[in-house]
């Protein structure tokens, strides 16, 4: 299955990925509305979803599901906005913004990778049975 992989050592913190993501998702350039996040400090620079699926089991209304391509998606219609998935994400990659009552996350669309000048983020494949949380 596809997922958005990362190499923190290559990231130059240009934040271009955040802009393209928030624009694609919410039609605005706002890093706090991006599914990928670039931090200015810490060993972990890039935060994004590895499609591990911990959130699927946490969701009380079964509205987070893995699609037939292996990507973890939120069906917003039935989401009750509890944000338990945000609190329990091992990657802290389930995103939330107070302008919205549902969380949002990376679906490995790959738009950001096309903007990345250093290939610090890239779409790659992994076996579905190896997607467990770290």
Partner 1 sequence: MMDVKKIKDEHVTLQEYTYQLGNVDKGYTNRTLYINLSENKIKTKEVTQQMKEKFIGGKGFGLWYLWNAVTPQTKWNDPENEIVIAGGPICGITQYPGSGKSLICTISPLTGIPIDSNVGGYFGPLLKFSGWDALEIQGKADKDVIIVIDGNNGTVKIEEAPLEAIDGHVIGEQLTEMYADSEEDKRNVAVVTAGTAAEHTLVGLLNFTFYDVRRKVARLKQAGRGGIGTVFRNKKIKALVVKYQGVKGNLNNPVDQGTINQTGIKLHKEICKLDDKQNGMRKIGTANIIEVMDEYDLLPTHNFKFGMHKDTHKISSKVFIEKYITQGMADGCWYGCSMACAKAADKFELKTGPYKGHLVTVDGPEYENAAGLGSNCGIFDPHVVLELNFYCDTYAVDTISFGTITAFIMDCYENGIINKEITGGLELKFGNSDAALELLHQMSRGEGFGKVAGQGVHRMKKLFVEKYGADESFLNDIGMEQKGLEYSQYLSKESLAQQGGYALTNKGPQHDEAWLIFMDMVNNQIPTFDDKAEALHYFPMFRTWFGLYGMCKLPWNDIVPESNAHANEPAKIPEHVQNYVDICNAVTGKSIDKDQLIRESERVYNFQKVFNIRMGKGLRVHDRAPYRSIGPVTVEEYESRQDRYDSQLKEILGYEVDGKTTQEKVKVLRKYREEQFEKLQDTVYARRGWTKEGIPKIEHLKEIGMDLPEVLEVLEKVGETK
Q: What contacts 86, CB < 8 A, 6 or more positions away?
A: 94, 95, 96, 103
* Binds partner 1 (CB under 8 A): choice among 16, 86, 111, 123: 86
Helix and strand tally (H, E) in the chain? 4, 6
CB of 46 to partner 1, least distance (A): 20
Q: Which of residues 42-61 bind partner 1 (CB under 8 A)?
A: 57-61
CB of 21 to partner 1, least distance (A): 20
Do residues 40 and 13 lie in contact, with contact meaning Cβ atoms separated by under 8 Å? yes
Binding site for partner 1 (CB under 8 A): 57-62, 79-84, 86-88, 96, 98, 101-102
């Amino acid at each position: 299955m596809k997922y958005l992989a990362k190499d923190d050592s290559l990231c130059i913190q240009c934040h271009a990925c955040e802009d393209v993501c928030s624009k694609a998702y919410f039609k605005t350039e706002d890093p706090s509305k991006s599914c990928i996040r670039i931090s200015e400090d810490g060993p972990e620079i890039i935060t994004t979803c590895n499609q591990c699926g911990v959130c699927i089991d946490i969701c009380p209304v079964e509205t987070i599901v893995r699609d037939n391509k292996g990507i973890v998606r939120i069906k917003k219609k039935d989401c009750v906005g509890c944000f338990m998935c945000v609190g329990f994400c091992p990657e802290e990659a389930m995103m939330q913004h107070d302008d919205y009552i549902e969380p949002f996350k990376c679906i490995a669309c790959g738009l950001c990778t096309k903007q990345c000048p250093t290939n610090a983020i890239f779409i790659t494949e992994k076996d579905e049975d190896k997607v467990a949380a770290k």
